[in-house]
Structure formats: structure tokens, C-alpha cells
Amino acid sequence: PHWVLARTPPEGWPVDADFAWRETPAPSPGPGQMLTRTIYLSLDPYQWGRRRRGVEAVGEVCHGRTVSQVVESRLEGYAPGDFLFNTNGWQTYGLTGEGISTFGYMFPRKLDPSLAPISSAVGVMGMLGLTAYAGLYVQCAPQAGETVVISAASGGVGQVAGQLAKLRGCRVVGIAGRAEKCAYVKDDLGFDECISHLDPDFAERLRAACPDGVDVYFENVGGRVFEAVLGLFNNGARITLCGLASQYGAMGEDIIEAWKAAGEKTFSERHMSVHPLFVGDYVATHQERFLAEMGDWLRNGHIRYREDIHEGLETAPRAFQSMLAGGTFGKTLVRVSTD
Ligand code: NDP
């Protein structure tokens, strides 16, 4: 079975009618290909942007990164039983290898289940962890004692970014939705503060949590949250522009240009640097070192993470809708089959 995009999505957020369930037999691998069984499917905000912009065609299997296991291989170096990070999309079985388009990542990465739980390959020990690492350490390089603010702080990227800032000795202030998320970010992940953007006094509470201003901002959501941070930047502050999750339902405007226009006066007056981030730019240069370091941090307990796992491929559209609305808690995954 698999999910396809059922229509060109209209303005706004995903609904059930955007997706259609299809049942087809598992395909057979051709030369240079392998058949893999999906174990975990990663649900990520960017998937909605792709669907909205028409990158994903109507009737096409919905795109998504996956953790899977090789069932049958005609690709050298891969054998049945191997665990992989790959891009099966929203389906139970997929082909990987020659002639299979996987949006940027043609080649799978083998996983060693003894190093970390395999689900983490689409989260902390994969693209999301690398996103946090590249944005925070490579682009913004926070110094001990500086104040770092992280939006969507309990989500897949945010939870890692904040802990990386703590490892550098920063004062770290998270921004999240519901109270239980804020409590988790502060009490379990060790951020200094976490402020709810749902609080009517959000902007004032954020200001009070940053008495020395803001030196680094890891932008995941945009909108009202960004407006509240904007007044708090110190001279020489740095921003990683990682994502604008609150804006992905918008149509007919360039959300990045609108974000820049809202900030440009402040950016220039306070001599700030803004770093747009695309994690794919850091795979060749930083992924190997990142995976080694993150493996150590996980084993010695310096970095913790939370996953929100939904059971069964049928749940994917609803879990996806919930994630975009802040309903899920931690990195959002679907368990498609057992590991
Ligand atoms: P998350 O797990 O953080 O999920 C998105 C979260 O955004 C929601 O859970 C919600 O958290 C928050 N959110 C949604 N709407 C609003 C709103 N109106 N106001 C405030 N917060 C809102 O997703 P990821 O960790 O996967 O991704 C985080 C960001 O990183 C996204 O913007 C994504 O596109 C980006 N990204 C960028 C990459 C790159 O290469 N640049 C790579 C990977 C991710 P809450 O309930 O706390 O409000």
C-alpha cells in the first residue's frame, strides 16, 4: 500500500482530501536496484511545501525519508537484512538504486543498529540532527555566556539545537506551544527557560527570559514568534534561517522574502548576519564528523531526544496534519512495519 497526493492542494493546511490510499503489489528490483521494506517513515514540514509548490505531482507516491530493511537486492554492496536510511516515501515497500529518483539523495546510507536505535536515522542521528548542528555550530558559532533562542524547541530540529547550545555553555531559551512541551524542554532537556507562544503575554515573557538580549536565534517558525524575537537582538547577533513552519500554508507570496522584509531594518541597524540553511549543503562536508560526535553525545547522555511515533501507514495523513498544527510532540514518525 501507499499514499498518493490526491489533488493540487488549495490554500492552507493539509486535510484528508489531499491524500488517497492505493494498494498495489510490491515491485521487483531491476538491475542495480533493491527492494526495501519501510520500517519508519519521517514526517517533516518541508513535505507540505513540496506538495503546495507542485514539486510532487498529483497521483505520485507522497515523498518522505525512511528507515527500511533490504528484502531483495540487485545492487552491489547491499544484502537482504541490511538496515538503511533511504527515501521510500509514504509506502510499505520501495525500490532504491539506479533510475529511482529520490529527491537529492540517490544513495542510501547503511545503519548499524548497535550504534543507535534505527529510528534516529531520520531524526537526531540524521538530517534533523545535522540541520541543528550546521545551523548552530557552523553558521552561528555561539560562545559561552551568549543567549541563544530556539523556536519550535520541542520539535525534531529544535530539541537538538538547544542542547547543542547548552553544550557550548550558552543561556538557552526555547519557544514552544503547549505547557507540557515547555516543561519537557526545560526540565528534561535542560534549557534555561521555555516560553509558550500561546501565552497572551508571550512577547513580554520572552523579553524577561532574555535580560541580556539575544545573540543567536535559530528560526524554525517565523510569523508572530519572529516578530517577538526581533526587538531583542544585540549588536552582531546571528540568525540561522532554518524554516518558517508557521507560514507553510500561505500561498501567493514568497515567505522568505516577506520574512527578510520584516527584519531588514533591524538586521542592518544591529549589524546582524542572517544565514539561510539548506542541510543538503552540509552532507558531504560535515555529516561524517557530525554522526561520530552525535553518537558519542547520545551514548554519554549529553543529548536526549523525544519521538512521537504513530502506528501504521494508514495514520500518515492525520499525523502529518497534526505535526504542522503543533499537535505532535517531538520528532514525528510513522511505524510502517516492525523492526
Ligand atoms: P517540528 O517537529 O518542529 O514541527 C513543526 C513545529 O512547528 C510544530 O510542532 C509546532 O511546534 C511549530 N509551529 C507550527 N505552527 C506554528 C505557529 N503558528 N507558531 C509557532 N510555532 C508553530 O518540525 P522539524 O523539527 O522537522 O522542523 C523544524 C523546522 O526546521 C521547520 O521549519 C522545517 O521546515 C525546518 N527544516 C529545515 C531544514 C533545512 O535544511 N533548512 C531541514 C529540516 C527541517 P509548537 O507546538 O511548539 O508550536
pLDDT at 104 (0 to 100): 65
CATH architecture observed for domain 127-279:
3-Layer(aba) Sandwich (3.40)
Which residue reads 499514499 in cell numbers? 3
Complex ipTM: 0.99
Q: Check if the beta carbon of residue 190 is closer than 8 Å to that of residue 252.
A: no
Take atom 43 of ligand 1 and give the residue whose Cα is closest.
128
Tell me the CA–centroid distance for residue 166 and ligand 1, in Å: 20
Query: What number does the ligand 1 atom closest to the CA of 157 have?
Result: 25
pTM of the model: 0.96
Query: What number does the ligand 1 atom closest to the CA of 45 have?
Result: 34
pLDDT at 249 (0 to 100): 86
Q: Phi first, then psi: give them for residue 303, nearest 5 degrees.
A: -125, 130
Of 307, 28, 323, 298, which is closest to residue 163 (Cα–Cα)?
298
Query: What number does the ligand 1 atom closest to the CA of 178 have?
Result: 46
pLDDT digits (tens, 9 = 90+) for 322-333: 999 999 999 999
Which residues sit with their C-beta closer than 6 Å to ligand 1?
44-46, 128, 131, 152, 154-158, 176-177, 181, 197, 220-221, 223, 225, 242-246, 277-279, 323, 326, 332
Of 224, 246, 220, which is closest to residue 155 (Cα–Cα)?
220
Q: Which residues of the chain have pLDDT under 70?
A: 104-106, 251-252
Residues 293 and 9: their CA atoms lie apart, in Å, by 40
Query: What number does the ligand 1 atom closest to the CA of 128 have?
Result: 43
Q: Phi first, then psi: give them for residue 110, nearest 5 degrees.
A: -75, 145
pLDDT digits (tens, 9 = 90+) for 229-275: 999 999 999 999 999 999 998 866 799 999 999 999 999 999 999 99
Q: Phi first, then psi: give them for residue 235, nearest 5 degrees.
A: -60, 135
User: Max Cα separation, the chain?
Assistant: 62
Residues 10 and 13: their CA atoms lie apart, in Å, by 8
Q: Check if the beta carbon of residue 155 is closer than 8 Å to that of residue 246.
A: no
pLDDT at 310 (0 to 100): 98
pLDDT at 252 (0 to 100): 63
Show the cell assigned to 117: 536505535
Take atom 34 of ligand 1 and give the residue whose Cα is closest.
243
Take atom 19 of ligand 1 and give the residue whose Cα is closest.
246
Tell me the CA–centroid distance for residue 241 and ligand 1, in Å: 12
Residues 271 and 128: their CA atoms lie apart, in Å, by 29
Residues 100 and 294: their CA atoms lie apart, in Å, by 30
Residues 195, 13, 22, 123: is their CA dihedral positive or negative?
negative
Tell me the CA–centroid distance for residue 77 and ligand 1, in Å: 36
Residues 202, 204, 205, 207: is their CA dihedral positive or negative?
positive
Which residue reads 542592518 in cell numbers? 268
Q: Which amino acid is at 71?
A: V
Show the cell assigned to 18: 489531499
Q: Pick from 44, 186, 281 the residue to mutate for probing ligand 1's pocket: most ligand atoms within 8 Å of its CB.
A: 44
Query: What number does the ligand 1 atom closest to the CA of 331 have?
Result: 2
Q: Phi first, then psi: give them for residue 89, nearest 5 degrees.
A: 80, -165
Instruction: Just give the CATH number of 2-123+306-335.
Output: 3.90.180.10
Per-domain residue ranges of the chain? 2-123+306-335, 127-279
Tell me the CA–centroid distance for residue 246 and ligand 1, in Å: 8
pLDDT at 105 (0 to 100): 66
Question: Radius of gyration of the chain from Cα atoms?
Answer: 20
Of 85, 73, 93, 79, which is closest to residue 33 (Cα–Cα)?
73
